[in-house]
């Protein structure tokens, strides 16, 4: 069975602060894929990143960066210099290569205050 | 770029009524997924179709059914609606191709309220 845990239910920061969202996963598969999605108040699910289990290189995209550590089964997401528009629920998700569904974590509600 | 299109965006139904949600996947995507997200919860997988055949089944109630048509669009039919069916329903699509781990892209969702 697969499981994704986002221990931080809610995080509140002030604009321009850096914030890290934690994601820990469990799987017996040796090959798998990890995702982050953003869900703003309007409700849509926006794809942010996909990471293959065999590629542990960290990635940076603008103010967003991701730290994948297979040894600790973690795939953390950092927003640098947060902005009010970053306020949303962020979901970490896991997908097996042999299957098709996404298993989501419980989500982290990020509130960035001006 | 074209995204996953869902309709209707908002739907209000009474208990015991029937509702149908429609989904048009991204062009050339061959797999469609349906997810249900209750208030304050993470999305829960309902069912998926690959090349018009059911490929995976999750926690979909027996009152619900779905299918994928020849033009790859999909419909989720929900009958005997209950108050607990009130949720945000997502359709998503991906292109399986050789790799089955391609990115799954979601539509904007259909808000169903059962009163």
Comparing C-alpha atoms, which of B15, B2, B3 is closest to residue B81?
Answer: B15
The answer to whether B31 contacts A106, with C-beta atoms less than 8 Å apart, is no
Neighbours of B60 (CB within 10 A): 17
Comparing C-alpha atoms, which of B92, B55, B94 is closest to residue B74?
Answer: B92
Torsion of CA A9, B108, B95, B78, to 10 degrees: 90
pLDDT digits (tens, 9 = 90+) for A47-92: 999 888 888 888 888 999 999 999 999 999 999 999 999 999 999 9
pLDDT for residue B1: 67
Please list every residue in chain B whose beta carbon sits closer than 8 Å to the beta carbon of residue A97.
99-101
As a whole number, mean pLDDT of residues B81-90 equals 98
The answer to whether B42 contacts A44, with C-beta atoms less than 8 Å apart, is no
Sequence-ordered list of residues with C-beta below 8 angstroms from that of B100, at least 6 positions apart, any chain: A97, A98, A99, A100
Mean pLDDT of chain A, nearest integer: 93
Tell me the helix, strand and coil percentages in chain A, rounded to 5. Answer: 5, 55, 40
Please list every residue in chain B whose beta carbon sits closer than 8 Å to the beta carbon of residue A94.
none
Neighbours of B86 (CB within 10 A): 16
In DSSP terms, B57 is beta-bridged to B47
* Whole-number Å distance between alpha carbons of A93 and A78: 16
Q: Give the residue with greater pLDDT, A58 vs A17.
A: A17
pLDDT for residue A98: 58
Sequence-ordered list of residues with C-beta below 8 angstroms from that of A41, at least 6 positions apart, any chain: A87, A88
Strand-strand pairing, B74-78 and B64-68: antiparallel
Residues 71-110 of A with CB under 8 A from B: 91, 95-107
pLDDT digits (tens, 9 = 90+) for B11-55: 999 999 999 999 999 998 888 999 999 999 999 999 999 888 999
The answer to whether A102 contacts B100, with C-beta atoms less than 8 Å apart, is no
Residue B6 has pLDDT above 70, yes or no: yes
pLDDT for residue B66: 97
């Amino acid at each position: 069975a697969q499981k994704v845990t986002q221990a931080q239910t809610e995080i509140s920061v002030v604009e321009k602060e850096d914030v890290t969202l934690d994601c820990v996963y469990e799987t017996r598969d040796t090959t798998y894929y990890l995702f982050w999605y953003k869900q703003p108040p309007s409700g849509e699910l926006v794809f942010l990143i996909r990471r293959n289990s065999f590629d542990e290189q960290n990635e940076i995209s603008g103010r967003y960066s991701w730290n994948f550590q297979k040894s600790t089964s973690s795939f953390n997401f950092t927003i640098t210099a947060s902005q009010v528009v970053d306020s949303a629920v962020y979901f970490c998700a896991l997908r097996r290569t042999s299957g098709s569904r996404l298993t989501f974590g419980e989500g982290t509600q990020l509130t960035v205050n001006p | 770029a074209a995204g996953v299109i869902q309709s209707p965006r908002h739907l209000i139904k009474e208990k015991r009524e029937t509702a149908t949600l429609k989904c048009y996947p991204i062009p050339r995507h061959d797999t469609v997924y349906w997810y249900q997200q209750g208030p304050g919860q993470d999305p829960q997988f309902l069912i998926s179709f690959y090349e018009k055949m059911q490929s995976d089944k999750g926690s979909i109630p027996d009152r619900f059914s779905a299918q994928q048509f020849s033009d790859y669009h999909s419909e989720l039919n929900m009958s005997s609606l209950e108050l607990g069916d009130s949720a945000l329903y997502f359709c998503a699509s991906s292109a399986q191709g050789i790799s089955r781990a391609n990115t799954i892209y979601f539509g904007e969702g259909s808000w169903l309220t059962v009163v």
